[in-house]
Amino acid sequence: MFRWGVPDPVTYYYRVSAFISDFLRRGMPDYDLTIYPYVSTTANIKSFLVGELEAVYAAEPGFGKLYSFKKPFKGFQPKVKKMPAQGLWLYTMETHILTLPKNKDKFRTWEDLDGKKIFMTKAGYMNHINIFRAMEDICGLDVTHVEVDTRKIAGALKAGTIDATASIATSLVSVPSFIKMLDVASPLQGVNPTPAQIKKLTAAGFTPAKINMKKAYTRDLGVDELYGVPFYFGQHFGLDFPEEAAYRILKVLEEAVGALVKLEAGFGPLAKDFAGFQVKGIRSIPEVPVHPGLAKYLKEKGLWDSSWKIATDKTIEAAIKTMKAKMR
């Protein structure tokens, strides 16, 4: 049985996990897969860590925080029964910033949002970690996160409770349900990093990407181009997850990915090069060991890099030490 962790119903992955689970049930009929939704991505990770899931939804910035046991995982290490290894990469997400059109002259760039109140997506989301990393850690801005009900972002913007909101695109073309609601409820204005900030992000390894606004949004966003900060997202496994099962998941989804992209455009890059996308995901956080099932799959494809570590108790323990030292 697979207990497959996902975040809450307003998210992108909650929606598309139905497609993935359908193909896996048909392709692996000897396994029973059940979707377990959580209040946030971080909540699903913590549930996995204490042994309540077989597969966990996690992203590159979450792996970094987890393996270094920094916030939101600070103090959680004594509770850990197992750690996730890289297993299946599915798509990129691109975190970007929106405000109201009436603020277009006030907030021309991210620089103008220094010291302002922003809904940095829901606390516990990987996009929350990603946009804080981009704006504060890399660009040196000081922003205040204001937690907002995802159904009421438009109202918070209009009331001035927040000056701007972070938004999410998947593979540059799709947005989650709560952003679709915002798109319908309010006119919106894109806010971009400055050229200098784009250079800083690029130098740090997070080159901003252009959102396909016509596909992602129904409204004009008042800018010619809108930049988001990308990162990799996927479903990952612990050492208790059989190598052969993880390998079969990859093979089943590789065969099904053409049908998946017809159901949801966010799977476009995965469909273009399924195996190559796994390589890109690993390269986004090579410090984290790779599940033996993914390693077997990539060796079969001739894509395994000898510098990567296959997950064992020892390599995971070593990766935790490395990440803790790196994140000091």
pLDDT confidence of residue 327? 77
What distance in Å separates the CA atoms of residue 290 and residue 292, rounded to the nearest whole number?
6
Q: Is the peptide bond before 193 cis (omega within 30 degrees of 0)?
A: no
**Residues of the chain with pLDDT > 90: what percent?**
98
pLDDT at 17 over 80: yes
pLDDT confidence of residue 222? 97
Please write the tens of the pLDDT for every residue from 216-238: 999 999 999 999 999 999 999 99
Please write the tens of the pLDDT for every residue from 272-302: 999 999 999 999 999 999 999 999 999 999 9
Per-residue pLDDT band for 326 (boundaries 50, 70, 90) equals confident
Query: φ and ψ at 164, to 5 degrees?
Result: -160, 170
Query: φ and ψ at 39, to 5 degrees?
Result: -65, -20
The residue whose two tokens read 């010619």 is 224
Provide mean pLDDT across the span 77-91: 98
pLDDT confidence of residue 240? 96
**Domains located in the chain, CATH noted:** 2-90+234-326 (3.40.190.10), 93-231 (3.40.190.10)
Give one DSSP letter per residue of 21-66, joined into a string: HHHHHHH-TTS-EEEEE-SSHHHHHHHHHTTS-SEEEEEHHHHHHH
* Residues 12, 16, 20, 21, Cα dihedral to 10°: 100
Please write the tens of the pLDDT for every residue from 29-65: 999 999 999 999 999 999 999 999 999 999 999 999 9
pLDDT confidence of residue 140? 97
Per-residue pLDDT band for 328 (boundaries 50, 70, 90) equals confident
What distance in Å separates the CA atoms of residue 44 and residue 70, rounded to the nearest whole number?
17
Task: Give, in order, the Cα–Cα distances in Å from 291 to each of 49, 60, 66, 239, 244.
Answer: 16, 15, 16, 7, 11
Q: What angle do CA 182, 281, 292 make, to 5 degrees?
A: 130
The end-to-end CA distance of the chain, in Å, is: 38
pLDDT at 311 over 80: yes
Strand (E) or helix (H) holding 277: helix 274-284
Give pTM, 2 decimals: 0.94
Q: Do residues 170 and 59 lie in contact, with contact meaning Cβ atoms separated by under 8 Å?
A: no
Task: Give, in order, the Cα–Cα distances in Å from 179 to each of 182, 197, 311.
Answer: 5, 25, 36
Strand (E) or helix (H) holding 240: none
